[in-house]
Amino acid sequence: MSDKIETVKCLIIGSGPAGYTAAIYAARANMFPVLYQGMQPGGQLTTTNEVENFPGYPDGVTGPEMMVQLQEQAKRFGSDIRDGWATKVDFSGDIHKVWINDSIEIHAETVIISTGATAKYLGLSSEQKYLELGGGVSACAICDGFFYRNQEVVVVGAGDSACEEAHYLSNICKKVTMLVRSDKFRASQIMEDRVRKTANIEILMHTETEEVLGDGQVVTGVKVKNRTTGEVTEITATGFFVAIGHKPNTDIFADYLDLDETGYIKNIPGTSKTNIAGVFVGGDAADHVYRQAITAAGTGCMAALDAERYLAAKD
């Protein structure tokens, strides 16, 4: 641990739309925010090739380009943007203590958490290949479904999220094939009934993905295996949507903040406030429903405004 302690008025942990928006608002309010970008500077959006549903970009924008622009905007107003990630926190006292890279100790009057969540994938090398290429693998139908209009796609998963993704895609795509590993859904009955009643959704039970097929640039199909019969078949598809859940990046806060059963930070409804005074949350670290760039940016704004009001009340 470092012998030197840095004291700041506003510390933002994590970047992405929530973190950078919080930094913009905090800097304009003379809170002199210090932002550590985290393990993945810019967040999940840096893995998205095309963003067409964020207001203000009539011709679309790439995820990395948008994050660079948000970062530069935050810097313009004086935000201190730094490399590094939080490895330990202590929110037990009036001063919020955060350690960066296990070496830098920061004492912050306010903390804004925007550490996001990480989509779960199957871990297949072929899946990761086309995910990195931006060639047809996605974990967000609302984000990317438009690009597969009138095409055939595959959805992996058996929970409510998978059913929601499949149903959303069924309104856009020619055909949706759902792959369910076991003999039953994990989704609520109403969601299962919805996909079963949708004409262009085909459901394959006892089925797991063996390989994502492609031409080296884009997805062309999926090789699947029936876990009961052992039969291996290929499904023609241009999109492969993985809907097996997200893991919020909140482990280091578990001893101090109230989390739900899956690890998302609980905020006081209608605010960004957590159960610890002076600690606020924005973006996907608390949002397991919408998980969109625009909603993350909105809650980042809320967090900065709530932090500003918290400091004003203390003065």
Active site residues: 140, 143-144
Find all residues with CB under 8 Å of 234, minimum gap 6, and list them: 213, 221, 222, 223, 224
Q: What's at 209, amino acid-wise? A: T
For the chain, counts of helices (H) and of strands (E): 7, 17
**From CA 75, how far away is CA 71, in angstroms rounded?**
6
Helix (H) or strand (E) run with residue 72 in it = helix 63-76
**From CA 103, how far away is CA 80, in angstroms rounded?**
18
CA-closest candidate to residue 106, choices 33, 26, 43, 39: 33
Diameter over CA atoms, the chain: 70
Find all residues with CB under 8 Å of 300, minimum gap 6, and list them: 17, 18, 19, 20, 21, 22, 25, 112, 114, 282, 283
